[in-house]
Amino acid sequence: MNHTERRSRKLGWRFVVLAVVLVIAGSAIIRSCWLDVYYIPSESMEPYLLTGDRVLVSRTDYSSTAIVRGDVVVFDGRGSFAPLNSGQGPIADALHTVGVWLGVAGSDTVYVKRVIGVGGDHVKCCSAGGQLEINGLARDEPYLYPGDAASTSAFDVVVPEGKLWLMGDHRSVSADSRSLLGAPGGGMVSVDKVIGRPLRILWPLERFGPLDRLTASAILPAPPAIQKDAQ
């Protein structure tokens, strides 16, 4: 191989490396500002989301539209659903973060749940008919996992302003706001912790498609609106 060929090959590898770096950097910017992909590690949101689903999440939807009862949100659970410090050490945390970013591992601190109560709501379980009560009115929940009760544990909470009361659709297996009633914060999650809204399922291919958002008419009683500050 002569000098010209060696130089040409070296330049070729440099362009390849530069292209890879630019793709990774561009992907990182997009995923941190606009769209991201999350892996669903549990059954807590069945039948809406299944274990192993990869979902595309909009980070900007709730900057322009209100968070209302019935919405499904992806949120950072540190300080509420998860401890602020994982206790695994920086190396293990870094490796796990890479796995989450690649979509091959579930996050220990990012959760997907449904909004049941917003600021000012009085949420109670259960009514004489076994339903959730919101502000004194029994609520129909068409998204519940077939055969599940609204809740097998009783609770009676008032959601502070700027907070959310969140529950899974598969109530019998979901660790959610109910599980944290005795913890600091009482199971409430700050609106500022919301990362975004699931838009569609990307994987597996047989489930590829958009994820429906409940219309206001399907949410009883009519929900007050919460506007999340732009990120």
Give the span between the Cα atoms of 70 and 1, in whole angstroms.
Answer: 66
Is residue 113 flagged as an active site residue? Answer: yes
* H or E stretch at 156: strand 155-158
| 184 CB neighbour count, 10 Å cutoff | 9
Q: Which of 42, 44, 151, 177 is catalytic?
A: 44
- Of 58, 80, 113, 177, which one is the catalytic site residue? 113
Q: What are the counts of helices (DSSP H) followed by strands (DSSP E) for the chain?
A: 3, 12
Retrieve residue 59's tokens: 């980070």
Instruction: List residues bridging with 123 in a β-sheet.
Output: 134, 157
Task: Output the six-digit token pair for 194.
Answer: 């919301």
Separation between Cα atoms, residue 77 and residue 108, nearest integer Å: 9
* Residue 163 bears catalytic tag: no
Catalytic residue numbers read: 44, 113
